[in-house]
Structure 1
């Protein structure tokens, strides 16, 4: 098992949910439903409000490649400064990340692979190469796989994955390997396999 898969499965086990909807997740139907480690099968008491809020934050942060707390807090602070519902703004900002869009466009199989794909310089935004996974895309931006990378086996395999669809806030052309960020999504637009609760994240940071 690669380090990336191990990290992804560890997050699933800790959350007790298959947060990416992957069929090989350790918490998929028919697999273990208890927590990791030698004490994982112990009976759990009712979680406190703080614990519930913390888990919501960890789950959302983990979903986007387990980004650092510093990065995640910076995104939250930006959401607070914007007009409108802070939870919705938070989701919109996270989905505007370049690595998130590369993943949603099915250019890669996982969020973790998206970060690596961008970092290795395989992606252009509006014709310019960008290798920063956290780069924030704007409505109308065109994300394109570089010509030299369009025949990568991992890319072609990801496009063929049947377990997830491209959301309607992206206009994707897999023949040209391009994706246009058509609009900033709301929470209800984002195809999360597991329930995400940004309102609890807001409560966590507002304590």
Structure 2
């Protein structure tokens, strides 16, 4: 399956959650999409609920099935709470860090900035959105890209410095990962324990 590029409102309605940000369509049509979206829905099985939670996490962070599975394997091998570690690994992706810093308004936009070589990590250009940012790494806008309209517009919206685990230097247009975020510092409405239960079957 290729990366999803279809209507975002359709996915938000599927999970009844504005996973791509504020959505007027979801507010008007708070029922699943499709011909029978408004009809009676049978009670979902435990497996279906767990699967839906995994799918929601995949769509939220823009991962494909194999990428998500590999990330879960990595999380399960680490000591600690697997669900929280999984979310920390997702938050540590370069495209997500660029989004959290406010350099891009969405994760998709952040992904494009990374792919088009507008972002550096510790002074080196990195064009891999899935690159895992480590503690102490400096994620910055490339010098030649600092005047890019998309970046200046996003930063002007004042979305920076919202997350205590990130430090932002507005002069250098650079951010630093100080600590890994705790579960309370990750705002995504994801029930990670359901994902752990799904992969534990």
State TM-score, norm by structure 2: 0.92
Gaps of 5+ in 1: none
Match of 1:18 in 2: 18
Could you say if the C-alpha distance between residues 118 and 182 of structure 1 is closer, same or farther in structure 2, counting changes exceeding 3 Å?
same
2:60 to 60, 63, 83: 63
CA distance in 2, matches of 1:35, 1:92: 29
The whole-number CA distance in structure 2 between the counterparts of 1:18 and 1:202 is 23
Alpha-carbon displacement from aligned partner over 1:111-133 (angstroms, at most 9, x marks no partner): 11111110111000001000000
Q: Deviations over 1:53-96 (max 9, x none)?
A: 0111011111112x100001000000000001100110111111
Query: 2-side partners of 1:25 and 1:204: how far apart?
Result: 32
1:94-109 matches, cutoff 5 A:
94-109=90-105
Q: Which whole-Å CA distance do the structure 1 matches of 2:14 and 2:34 have between them?
A: 10
Instruction: State which of 137, 143, 155 in structure 1 corresponds to 2:139.
Output: 143
CA distance in structure 2 between the aligned counterparts of 1:125 and 1:163, rounded to whole angstroms? 20
Shift of 1:7: 3.8
Q: Distance between the aligned counterparts of 2:183 and 2:24, measured in 1?
A: 24
The DSSP-based 3-state class of the residue aligned with 1:121 is coil
Distance verdict in 2 for CA 1:7–1:172, change over 3 Å:
farther
Q: Using the alignment, how far apart are the partners of 2:49 and 2:129 within structure 1? A: 29
Distance 1:129 1:100 in 2: 16
- Give the Cα separation in 1 of the matches to 2:65 and 2:24: 24
Corresponding residue number in structure 1 for 2:9:
9
Distance 1:95 1:74, change over 3 A: same
Q: Pick from 148, 155, 160: which aligns with 1:159?
A: 155
Q: Is the 8 A contact 1:123 1:131 kept in 2?
A: yes
1:173 and 2:169 aligned: yes
TM-score of the pair, normalised by structure 1: 0.89
Greater relative CO (CA pairs within 8 A, separation 6+): 1
Q: CA deviation at 1:191?
A: 2.2
- Name 2:121's counterpart in structure 1: 125
Give distance in 2, aligned partners of 1:44 and 1:54: 17
Q: Does the 8 Å contact 1:12/1:25 carry over to 2? A: no
| Map of 2:45 onto structure 1 | 48
1:39 aligns with 2:46: no
Structure 2, unpaired ranges of 5+ = none
Distance 1:56 1:182 in 2: 29
